[in-house]
Structure formats: C-alpha cells, structure tokens
A and B are shown apart, each in its own frame.
Chain A
C-alpha cells in the first residue's frame, strides 16, 4: 500500500464530510478531496498529515471560490441533477429536511475561519492540527471554537423560533 493510498483510506471519509459540510455539495467536496490527495502525492514530507490535508483542502476551496463562478454554477447544476436521482433513495422527513436547512443557514452565518475550525473539530482534528491547518495560534483555537459554537447554536435556535412563530401565526 502506497503512502497516498494509506492517506486516502485514513482521511478521505472525514475530509469529504468536512468539505461537504463546508461546501454543501458532495460532488464538489469529493473533487476537492481528490485534488488534495493528488497534492499529497507531490509533497515530499508531511509532518502532520491530518492538519496538512485539511489545510490544503481548505485552501483549495478558497482558491476554487475565487475561480470562475459560472463554472461552479454549472457544476452545481450537474450535481443537483445527480442528487435529483439520488434523492429518492432515502426518505427524508420534513422535520429532517427542515433541520438540515436551518443547520446549513446557521453554519453559513459563521465567519469563515470559525466555520472551518468548527468543521475540522467535528472531524476529530485536535487544537494543534486546527491551528496548523488554519494558521492560527494554538491558544486561540478554544476562543475560535467557543465563538463558532455559540453563534451556530444561537442562529439555529433563532431560526427555529422564527418558524414556530410562523406556524403559530398560520394556525391562529
């Protein structure tokens, strides 16, 4: 087993999940993850694998974001078509869909660095890895995460309250 194979087997799932959560697009996430592993192939030495992979993936996302927006739109369209087929597979309850929509909104409301730190933490990266990947000082990761979490939860809860209000109004 080559080193890249090992890297792929060890980190691909977490990386794709992280990227999917970040991008809201599984296909795009897989593309970025693959590109990340290709970059790892070219890298001579990686001291902290996980931090390196998440940092490169994050940078790729950032670079990608700067690129032609139309191209991304096209890809998103294709991905949407794919998902249209996929969607039939598992029944998603209205509550679940609602939950996912609020979660997406809440995550999107975070500052980029806070969001990435939180998503990395959720993938099991420790503070030093997050610090390395995001070029933060290790001491500030706790603060970044606490801010991210508070903001995330507050936004999510306010969205839920709004909906409850709407439902109440609709009912009365």
Chain B
C-alpha cells in the first residue's frame, strides 16, 4: 500500500473507512513509522479540534467574548442593586404607611367609629382563636370597630404609633412583630387575623381616654340566629349585676347581652386580651377609679363557648360599634349580618343607640 493521504488517515480515525481499506491501512501502519507519526498527529488534531469547537460553547448564548472578561464595577452587581431596590421600596412604603396610619388614626378619633371587626367562620376554627375573639368582644372598647375596614393592613400601619403608645403601656401586649408574622397554619392565620384587630383597638382606646376622660364602655353581645329585626322594643330577658350584663331578646332566638363596664376603666386593661390577661387583671384587682368589675375570666370563657356554639351557623360573627347618646362606647357583636346588627341597635333604648 502506498502512503495514505491525510484525509484517509482522518477517515480511518473517524471509523469511516471501508473495512478492506482499513485493514490495508492498519497493515501499512505496522511497517511505516512515518505514517504512524502522521496518525499520531492526526489523533491530536482530532482531539484538539473537538476541544476548540467545544470552547465555542463556553459563553452563554455563544457571544463572541471580549479578549478579557469585562468586570462590572462593584455598584453594578446584581445583588447590590436588588438590595438597594428593596431598601428603597421598604423605606418609601414605611413613610407612606406611617402617613396613612396617622391619618387613619386621627380620623378614627374625630369620627365616632361605626364599623366593626368582621370575624369569619374560619377565624373560629381553633380554640385559641375563639379565646381571642372572646377577648376582643369582652374587653376591646368600641373603636375595635375601626379596624374592620383597615383589616390586616392596620397592624402594619398602626405599628409606628403603637410603639409610641407602648411607652406608657405597662400591660403585656402581643408585640406587633408577632402579629405581623406570617401565619403558619390556618389556626395561626385565624389568630393573626383576630390579632390584627387588636392593635388599633388598643390604640384607639388610648386615644379616646385622652379625648373623653370619663368614657364608659358598654358592650352588647348577640347570640343565636337573628331573624330580620322588626320594629318595637327589645325584650329584657335578665340582668346580671355581678358583670353588669343585661340580656335582651332582640327577636325570637336572638339574645342581646349588654355589658356595662363602667367609667374610667383602666386603659391598660383594655389593651390586654384573652383569658389569661383577664385573669391577670382580676388578680391585680380593680383600680379605685374602675367602678364595675371587668369581665371575669369565667365570663370570657362562656363568651367563647357561645361564639364556638354559634360556629355551627353559617353567618360569620359580625360586630358594629358606636358611641351612644350618653357617650358610652357600644359594641354589638353576634353571628348575624351587620344589617341585622344595625337593626337591633335601632331597637335599643333611645339613650343607648
């Protein structure tokens, strides 16, 4: 066999030579060192070519890269940009939230609050949340209502102000951070939702104490299912002097309980919520200024039970609040629609509406 040309050698390396040609070439290579050297070189070229062609893929997108990798200046780093963007947005939001929160709070003080927290059935899904609901019902002053339209946002918006009021707040309150924490479970979510109701309530109560020094808190709890509230006087079912509660029957099956919590009720107590805090307050004893007893823990428990019982009904617990003609804060809650609550309110004694 003659010395093979380079193309034949490459074809042989690529395993593309017909069998008889390949056999002849292999025989020749055993004798010809010159050709063996060519084969060795060709193998090197094949391998090197593959490597060079692969190097084309190094740059994503196959761009022709610059001779040296272009380095971005430190301020152009993606992470830094992202961090800066987050910081700017966070800062701006905080400013906006602060302003909004301030505005809302101021409005809440000026206008007598009429709205009420809307407690959905979901929120009653855990015992914890039930207690929380009860706590709010039993202890939160009327401005609880104010939180309804604000809802979850309120907890963020009011935080800066809450922190301010916390300075003269001796009571242990749930920290705003806790309230803002993302809910891990449904029940936690419920607790948070209810919890979200509290900060503005505490805030408002504090504000209101300043505005009207001898405010009296009254509270009305509605149980049972309300039929469309008709005209006429509410029927007084019973009164409980130990808790200053008056129970009315709004309509067949619908009971309304009025808690008279008296005047000069300590603001700090209003900030507490739940059974534990209620007990704590009892242990501390009423301050001389606080005329009637705060709602005892037992009452709170029974409240939570009634709330839990009402859970069977589809209507969520609603609440409305207002300041009556005597200047008392009134909260009307129950597993009835807000319209029905408003109807019941109209049928209360004239000075309590």
Contact = CB atoms under 8 A, between A and B. Distances in A.
Contacts of A122: 49-50, 53-54
B56 A21 contact: yes
Interface string B1-42: 000011111110010110000000000000000000000001
B60 interface: yes
A149 B42 CA distance: 9
A70 interface: no
Interface in A24-61: 24-27, 29
Interface residues of A, number: 52
B11 A152 contact: no
Contact of B7 (A21, A83, A101, A146): A146
A147 B69 CA distance: 32
Interface in B38-63: 42, 44-46, 48-50, 52-63
A103 B50 contact: no
B56 A118 contact: no
Contact of B63 (A80, A119, A144): A80
Given A103-B53, A141-B11, A79 B59 contact: no
Main DSSP-derived SS at the B contact region: helix
Contacts of A90: 60
B53 A107 contact: yes
Choose among A86, A121, A145 the residue with the greatest number of B CB atoms under 10 Å from its CB: A145
B7 A153 contact: no
Given A21-B57, A107-B52, A126-B16, 18 more contacts: A21-B53, A21-B62, A29-B62, A80-B63, A87-B59, A98-B67, A99-B55, A100-B56, A102-B52, A103-B52, A107-B56, A122-B54, A142-B7, A142-B8, A143-B6, A145-B11, A146-B9, A148-B49
7 shortest interchain CB distances as A-B pairs: A143-B7, A142-B11, A142-B7, A103-B55, A146-B10, A83-B61, A100-B58
